Amino acid sequence: MTVPKFPPEWLEKIPAEVFYSPRAGELRIILLPDNGFVNGGAARDVSVHLVPSGLRVPNTRLWVQVDDAMEVAHVWRRDE
């Protein structure tokens, strides 16, 4: 029996923000913005195909779902 590293609810809805596009076809998003060393969060480069076209603008606030390998699986708008 394998024990998961994190409780499943921790992976289902993570706050994030779009940062910029480092290369064509990719977006850099920041998971857990305002957390971590110097409030930096954790940067992830993801395919633009994972992010709906209306949410690809820098500073857009998102919710992100990740899989067990911590890879981004789903992205949607964070309405607050």
pLDDT tens for 5-55 read: 766 777 789 999 999 988 999 999 999 888 766 677 888 999 999 999 999
Which of 18, 67, 12 is closest to 43 using CA atoms? Answer: 18
pLDDT for 3 equals 61
Whether residue 3 contacts residue 58, with contact meaning beta carbons closer than 8 Å, is answered with: no
DSSP summary character for residue 45: E
Output the six-digit token pair for 5.
């590293």
Q: What is the pTM of this model?
A: 0.79
The structural domains of the chain, ordered by start, are 8-77 (2.40.50)
Does 64 have pLDDT greater than 90? yes
Q: Which stretches of the chain are DSSP H helices? A: 8-12
